[in-house]
Amino acid sequence: MEARDVYSANQTKALIAEAIVEQATIGLIFVDEEGTIVFINEKAEMQFSVRKDEVVGKRIDMLPLRIPLYKVLSENCRDYPVEVSINGSILLVRSAQIQTETVRGDLIEVRDITDEKRERRQREEFVAMMTHDLKSPLTVMMGYIQGMKCEMVGAVDKALLSCVEELDVSSYRLLGMIEDVLDAYRLEVGLLSINRDNCCFRDILKGCCRDTTREAQRKGIEFVCSLPDELPAMHIDQKQVGRVFANLLGNAVKFTPPGGKISFSATLDGENVRVVVSDTGIGISSKDLGKIFNKYFRATTVAGFKGTGLGLAISKAIVDAHSGTIQVESREGEGSRFTVSLPLR
């Protein structure tokens, strides 16, 4: 093939590529290694209300500081995408490093997610409203169940008493699921409240152990609880922190088969308290381990088990709000080990 033909073919490819980029439904901007804007497509011009001839060939630091384009291009979004609010729209911005023999720089992708965010917010508000409305009749039912239990103390009909006790357990389980959905919404809109007070941390853990002991005995699981006497008082939200460990222990009971073992321990670790929940249950596969704290995520190993996929996400949010950490180690079929570390001060 002659050089002229090769040049013509390359030129055709370049024109086709340029046409595709121009017609893309997302904004695309290329910035070279020196920070100079080399290219901006039509969609990006519309998103930022600029023209090519106004910005192409200029360095980012030469742009007016107040314009939206400068705000977006000055974001560090190479490692993970960043959401930026521009003129009432929400833009998801991410960049990828381009390095070839002839081209070096960053390709910035700008996607308008305003409608997606609005639709998701509407869905979550609807779910929050529905779950909130479900709490009222459920609370009434729970009150009647408690009244029935009191009236049946010492009753001869053990089968009927067992049915009422099962109703009681199931109603609390349903209430917990409703609370999880509500808290997922609160977490999304930044309304998950943390009310700190001086609390006896050991008493919180003892309460969780007491509840777990009953559940473990019912299921035929060995439960070992080890709490030191010298655990100090801590300035935390007693209800929310208790909920974290109740959730971790509840999961351990749920996913550990009869004959298995659950261990619960707390130790002082310098300026922190370290709490460990370990079990010999079904475990988590390696491909799911990195997503286990995501909202609504359910590992492949829990197929067939009931749940909302919210408990661990909410637990992590509560621990984060207390400046702590929560970590997990697990192998499928061999059990899991969750470690929560909370600062004493």
Q: 295-333 pLDDT, tens per residue?
A: 777 787 777 677 667 788 888 988 988 989 999 999 988
Q: How far apart are CA 298 and CA 284, in angstroms?
A: 10
- Spatial CB neighbours of 318, under 8 Å, sequence gap ≥ 6: 192, 194, 237, 240, 241, 243, 244
Residues 10-26, mean pLDDT to the nearest whole number: 67
Per-residue pLDDT for 68 more than 80?
A: yes
pLDDT given at position 274? 93
pLDDT given at position 325? 93
Residues 264-278, mean pLDDT to the nearest whole number: 91
Per-residue pLDDT for 199 more than 50?
A: yes
Q: Poorest-confidence range of 2-16, 74-88, 275-289, 324-338?
A: 2-16
The alpha helices in the chain, defined as continuous H runs, are 3-22, 42-48, 52-55, 68-73, 114-151, 158-188, 201-219, 238-255, 286-289, 311-321
pLDDT given at position 7? 44
Summarised one tens digit per residue, pLDDT across range 168-179 is: 878 887 887 787
pLDDT higher at 275 or 132: 275
The C-alpha angle with vertex 96 and arms to 83 and 120, in degrees rounded to 5, equals 30
pLDDT given at position 16? 63
Residues 203-213, mean pLDDT to the nearest whole number: 89
pLDDT given at position 191? 64
pLDDT given at position 6? 43
37 band by pLDDT with thresholds 50, 70 and 90: very high
Average pLDDT over the chain, rounded to whole? 84
- Spatial CB neighbours of 90, under 8 Å, sequence gap ≥ 6: 83, 84, 112, 113, 114, 117
Residues 103-123, mean pLDDT to the nearest whole number: 86
pLDDT higher at 131 or 249: 249
Whole-number Cα distances in Å, 344 to 103, 229, 236, 251, 290: 52, 15, 9, 26, 28
Per-residue pLDDT for 18 more than 50?
A: yes
CA atoms within 13 A on the CB side of 152: 16
Q: Is 275 in contact with 262 (CB distance < 8 Å)? A: no
Per-residue pLDDT for 1 more than 60?
A: no
